[in-house]
Structure 1
Amino acid sequence: MQLRRLATATAAGLIAVAALAGCGTSNTPDATGDGAVSGDITLRLWDEKVADSYETSIAAFEEANPGVNVELNVVPWADYFTTLRQEVGTGAGDDLFWLNGANLNDYVEAGSLLNIDETLGAQAKNAWTPAVVSQYTVDGVLYGVPQITDGGSAFYVNEDLLAAAGVTADELSNATWSIDPAQDTLLPLLQKLTVDQNGNNAASPEFDSTKVASYGINVANEIQNIQLNFIGSNGGTYQTAEGAMTFTEPKTVEAYQYMVDLINKYHVAPPAEASNENGDYTRDEFIKGNIAVFESGTYNLANVHEGAAFPWSITEIAAGPAGKVTTAPGVIVAGNANTKNPEAVKALLEWLGSTEGNQFIGATGSAVPAVTEARDAYDTYWQGESVDTAAFFTVLEGNEQLPPVTGTNFGAQFEAFTPSLNEVFLGKVDVATGLKSAEDAAAKVG
């Protein structure tokens, strides 16, 4: 774990950042400006880019509350929920921590989270993105302050690789994938974009799949931007409303078969040996210029913008037989019910849920703020960088969305079914058989 002690910012510096985000600091909530609270508290999250933004936001909070010291605890995603579960389960853990929807119910049922309606008042939620509020409301109670809303998935495209293959971004976003080859207009484009070291693309009989120089797309064992999109756009389901996994639903099986074929039959996506154990592998390969199309969300925008040395742009994802279907989850900051400093926690929750506190995330482009009036800071930042982010949001307009992952004990289910899914993506087991094993493994712990 990495603890980042926050440096004290000057008042002039804070005002400058607030001005960049579109408003001043004069509207700081009363609870964070009366100097009545004090003590040391910690805030846990997994995103380094947002942590950078939080440092500035929390410096402003600390200036208004000189008796409070906040430390950021940045824990890598791979370890985040394992260690959080262990720490909070023993009645300890950080005073505040990020949660995603897949892990919410476990902490609610354990009584580990502060009731936000009671802590900040029932009207506080009116300032936050309704979809995120809904995602984190259980039995009528909201259990966190929305921080980020992801928007939908989009295609990041390497314009150099597209031009070399004679493929356009519009062709990709207007394409439709299908298990019926006669209806599949996406695969031929991905084959053109996949090139071996001898310059042969994947549609050529001379193509050498063991010596690929650049792949067409980043299909992998990733839930939010890959599996859910293909499943939803084929009319399948990932879970029941109660959180039981539905891997064996026929349309879901078809979607997985298509994904696996892109990797192991057509070789237009990197082998699962590389991506199964490294969730950032395909992102990093796209940034290196080794993948033409990177299907992902807004949370990778800052990484791509910072790291890619080639011209790139963003376009809508392709459709499936059921249209363009994606998911738009959010992230909350939750208060630990066992905190020893509830007043300082309440004050920080109120600040992070305010326009002033949340806008710092958008002002650096690190993520889309979930406080409604803070969204302008995000749009302004990326407009200033000449990056068009519209595809993340237009894909949601008029299209049905697949619900974000949820359910009690999903973390344990995930650990149980992942080995079987890894085998599926590796091509070591028949898709239908592997999905049955995954569903059975999840049911045993669900």
Structure 2
Amino acid sequence: MTRKLLSLAAILGASALTLAGCAGSPESSGASDTSGTTLTLRMWDETVAKSYEKSISAFEAENPEINVDINIVPWTDYWTKLRQDVATKKADDLFMVNASSYSAYVDSGNLLDIGTTLGVNAKNAWEPSVVDQYTRNDKLWAVPQLYDAGIAVYYNADLLAAAEVNPEELNDLTWSPDVEKDTYLPLAKKLTRDAAGVPVDVEGFDGTPVQYGTSLSNDGQAIILPFTGSNGGTFQDGDDFNFANAQTTESVKYLVDAINTSKVAPPAAETNASGDYARDAFLEGRLATFQSGVYNLKNVSEGAAFKWGVAMLPAGPEGRVSVTNGVALAGNANADKDSQPAIKKLLAWFGSTEGATFIGAEGSHIPAVTEAQKSFFDYWKKENVDVDPFFDVIKDNKTIPAFTGPKFESGAAAYKPIFDQIFAGQIEVRDGLKKAQDAGNAALAG
């Protein structure tokens, strides 16, 4: 790693670097320009961080009095460490937040008001859906950075060809609790094979799939929310959970039966244990289709040793309904007073076309700065990858809200073990969802 990429281990292992997490502290490397301001920026994604490092280099060239270090904290530790550091006033000067976490920091007075900091019209340059996600009490609390667009379906063209399936067929699939209207499950069965290549619904299938047709699993963003929305269901009412409703129950039962009865998707024991299991199985050629977001484009592009492409999300009884999401950059309201002008400059830079273009230039993500998105599309056009399905699915604004709420993480931690049981077929869907909803809402109230 370069000077700007600080590992969590290094920060925990050296008191000087811990102090660097406080706004305005000097660089631990003993750089000669100790009269300038050093800011730290916390994020969890090392791939995206590489693009940010290039952007920071350009920012520092224009602002030589400001040094910026990136502090990478892995996703598994990110939220726990951030809560601890914000509470003890040791958080970085700027830090990445997601829609399900930021509101807690708003309510506790730890984030800069972006309208006051950069002006009320600054938001006009950013993706409206991401602006909406980070608006609370009629104020914007973070600068939109990464835009997920919608959910789509990656496919292994070689496995589809072996099953005599044209990729175009994926764009016309419909899932439905009514078997007479369901075209999704029959195709998934055709793509699910045993070691001898026999499809799951053909006589002679040995009962043990080695190739699965689909990635259906206990994946909130990529699977549960789109299936819920496309059946007219809901997951939350405001900050509260309400997923025990009839439509959501019907959607989850479809998913659970596809995994445990039809066996067209990997066992829940595997996918519950690792959120990356389906992606890895797809890259290893054990999964014919993989429903996910643009956040996995780079992973698939670099890891797939087969022909692949992207198709549309399957439609449900209410049509195609996707979640759309975004990541934003928050300014620490409790950072050193002398560093606030530099924080303002850096927030403005990352909210500008010039500063955000670096994010999309290598295809790692879509900038939430709308004028900077061209760099993302140009990259994938050169790679001959059609990314339209991620955007076509949300063109008519048929979306289901992303997870939200100041205590969402606590609620999710309470309901997740029950969801794991539901998807493993260990508990009946209707009773399980009611139990999970009660547990989640109790955690929100606690």
Counterpart position of 2:27 = none
CA distance in 2, matches of 1:197, 1:444: 46
Aligned pair partner of 2:298 in 281, 299, 302: 302
Q: Distance in 2 between matches of 1:123 and 1:286?
A: 43
Q: Is the 8 A contact 1:4 1:71 kept in 2?
A: no
Structure-2 separation of matches of 1:267 and 1:208: 12
- SS state at 1:181 partner: coil
Corresponding residue to 1:261 among 257, 263, 266: 257
Query: What's the counterpart of residue 220 of structure 1?
Result: 217
1:406 Cα deviation after fit: 1.1
In the alignment, structure 2 segments of 5+ residues that lack a partner are 6-32
Letter paired with 1:186: Y
Q: What is the distance in 2 between the residues matched to 1:386 and 1:41?
A: 38
Q: State the 1:399 CA deviation.
A: 4.9
Q: Which letter does structure 2 place at the counterpart of 1:120? A: L
1:316 counterpart (290, 312, 317): 312
The alpha carbon displacement at 1:161 in A equals 0.5
Q: CA deviation at 1:78?
A: 2.4
Name the counterpart of 1:276: 272
**What SS does the aligned partner of 1:212 have?**
coil
Corresponding residue SS for 2:265: coil
Q: Structure 1 stretch 369-378 or stretch 161-170: which is displaced more?
A: 161-170
Query: One-letter code of the match for 1:357?
Result: G
Shift of 1:358: 0.4
Give the Å deviation of 1:4: 5.8
Structure 2 match to 1:229: 226
Which residue matches 1:369?
367
Aligned equivalent of 2:189, options 188, 191, 198: 191
- CA gap 1:145/1:399 in 2 versus in 1, 3 angstroms: closer
Helix, strand or coil for the counterpart of 1:217? coil
Q: Distance in 2 between matches of 1:162 and 1:132?
A: 35
Partner of 2:235: 238
Structure 1 gap ranges (5+): 8-34
Out of 328, 339, 346, the residue aligned to residue 348 of structure 1 is 346
Tell me, what secondary structure is at the counterpart of 2:68? strand
In 2, the alpha carbon distance for the partners of 1:222 and 1:346 equals 36
Identify the match of residue 391 of structure 2 among 383, 390, 393: 393
Could you tell me which amino acid in structure 2 is paired with residue 61 of structure 1? F
Please give the secondary structure, in 2, of the residue aligned with 1:333: strand
Deviation at 1:213, TM superposition (A): 1.6
CA contact (8 A) 2:41 2:95 kept: yes
Does the 8 Å contact 1:323/1:399 carry over to 2? no
Tell me the residue number matched to 1:148. 146
For 1:288, the equivalent position in structure 2 comes to 284
Runs of 4+ in 1 over 3 A off after TM superposition: none
Equivalent-residue separation in structure 2 for 1:5 and 1:233 (angstroms): 47
Give the distance between the partners of 1:366 and 1:343, measured in 2 at CA. 30
Letter in 1 for 2:399: Q
**Partner AA of 1:50 in structure 2:** V
Letter in 1 for 2:122: A
Secondary structure at 1:207 match in 2: coil
Contact 2:200 2:209 in 1 (8 A): no
Partner of 2:22: none
The answer to whether the 8 Å contact 1:216/1:268 transfers is yes
Name the amino acid aligned to 1:338: N
Secondary structure of 2:434's partner? Answer: helix
Structure 2 matches for 1:98-137, cutoff 5 A?
98-137=96-135
Question: 1:28 matched to which residue of 2?
Answer: none
Q: CA deviation at 1:38?
A: 3.2
Does the 8 Å contact 2:244/2:437 carry over to 1? Answer: yes
1:236–1:250: 8 Å Cα contact kept in structure 2?
yes
Measure the CA separation in 2 of the matches of 1:250 and 1:176. Answer: 20
The amino acid of 1:442's aligned partner reads G
Q: TM-score, normalised by structure 2?
A: 0.90
Task: Tell me the amino acid that sits aligned with residue 239 of structure 1.
Answer: Q
Q: Distance in 2 between matches of 1:57 and 1:40?
A: 16
157, 160, 164: which is aligned to 2:158? Answer: 160
Q: Deviations over 1:144-178 (max 9, x none)?
A: 00101111111100000001111122212201101
In the aligned structure 2, how far is the partner of 1:5 from the partner of 1:264?
49
State the one-letter code of the partner of 2:216: V
* Alpha-carbon distance in 2 for matches of 1:63, 1:205: 67
Letter of the aligned partner of 1:225 in structure 2? A
Q: What residue number does 1:431 align with?
A: 429
Alpha-carbon distance between aligned partners in 1 of 2:226 and 2:206, rounded to the nearest angstrom: 29
Q: Secondary structure at the match of 1:214?
A: coil
AA aligned opposite 2:291? E
Q: Give 1:76 deviation, angstroms.
A: 2.2
Partner of 1:22: none
Larger CA deviation: 39-48 vs 417-426: 39-48
Task: Give the partner amino acid of 1:147.
Answer: Q
Q: Which amino acid aligns with 1:54?
A: Y
CA contact (8 A) 1:114 1:335 kept: yes
Q: Which secondary structure state, in structure 2, belongs to the residue aligned with residue 289 of structure 1? A: coil
CA distance in 2, matches of 1:206, 1:243: 49
Paired with 2:169 and 2:87, the residues of 1 have a C-alpha distance of 50
3-state SS of the aligned residue for 2:288?
Answer: strand
Aligned-pair CA distance for 1:136: 0.7
Q: Would you say the 8 A contact 1:197–1:213 is kept in 2?
A: yes
CA drift at 1:207: 2.2
Q: Distance in 1 between matches of 2:294 and 2:342?
A: 31
* Cα displacement string for residues 282-331 of structure 1 (whole angstroms, at most 9, x for unaligned residues): 11111111111011111110110011010000111110111000011111
Distance 1:284 1:78 in 2: 18
Match of 2:410 among 409, 412, 437: 412
1:339 aligns with 2:335: yes
Q: CA deviation at 1:102?
A: 1.0
SS in 1 for 2:289: strand
Amino acid at match of 2:401: P
1:280: how far off?
Answer: 1.1
1:232 Cα deviation from its structure 2 partner:
0.4
Give, as a single letter, the amino acid of the residue that structure 1 aligns with 2:388.
Answer: A
Corresponding letter in the other structure for 1:82? T
Looking at structure 1, the residues matched to 121 and 341 of structure 2 have their Cα atoms a distance apart, in angstroms, of 19
